[in-house]
């Protein structure tokens, strides 16, 4: 179990959808709003990602996950991973690996409309996909 001094919180959840524009319209109809709509490039793969505020969290929507090629098969549509903001990414990543997680993508620095951060994608022994992030600069409002 990670040390109590190691803080983490749910920053957002992510979903793979077959039609970004249709999903955005659906979430807007339920009170959500677009925060960012951009193209991210990770490992030479460019994907359009829409960040929306929905209730008291953010949701990242995309038609293909950047880590999908590392899964050995196509990721199903629907909720696919959670993003945990952490204060010590190396330690929490190491704890997850010691506990049996598998690393999908090694830690890397990412800069986009949401700010700058170090990110690592992992999969729990039971199959939960999650991303650990250590934020250097937030460019979107903090949510409760």
Furthest CA-CA distance within the chain = 43
pLDDT value of residue 19: 98
The confidence score (pLDDT) of residue 143 equals: 86
Query: How do the domains of the chain map onto residue ranges?
Result: 12-138
The rounded average pLDDT for each run of 10 residues, N- to C-terminus, in the chain (144 residues) is 72 97 98 96 89 96 92 94 96 96 95 96 96 96 84
CATH superfamily of 12-138: 2,3-Dihydroxybiphenyl 1,2-Dioxygenase, domain 1 (3.10.180.10)
Task: Spell out the long-range contacts of 117-125 with Cβ–Cβ below 8 A and sequence spacing 24 or more.
Answer: 118/89, 120/89, 120/93, 121/66, 121/67, 121/70, 121/81, 122/93, 122/96, 122/97, 124/96, 124/100, 125/99, 125/100, 125/101
pTM, whole model, 2 decimals? 0.89
């Amino acid at each position: 179990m990670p040390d109590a001094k190691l803080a983490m919180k749910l920053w957002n959840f992510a979903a793979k959808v077959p039609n970004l524009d249709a999903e955005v319209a659906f979430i807007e109809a339920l009170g959500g709003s677009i925060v960012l709509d951009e193209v991210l490039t990770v490992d030479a793969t460019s994907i359009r990602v829409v960040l929306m505020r929905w209730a008291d969290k953010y949701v990242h929507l995309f038609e293909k996950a950047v880590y999908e090629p590392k899964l050995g098969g196509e990721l199903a549509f629907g909720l696919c991973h959670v993003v945990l903001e952490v204060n010590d990414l190396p330690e929490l990543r190491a704890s997850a690996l010691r506990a049996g997680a598998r690393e999908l993508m090694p830690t890397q620095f990412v800069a986009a409309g949401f700010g700058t951060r170090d990110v690592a994608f992992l999969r729990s022994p039971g199959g939960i996909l999650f991303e650990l992030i250590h934020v250097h600069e937030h460019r979107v409002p903090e949510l409760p």
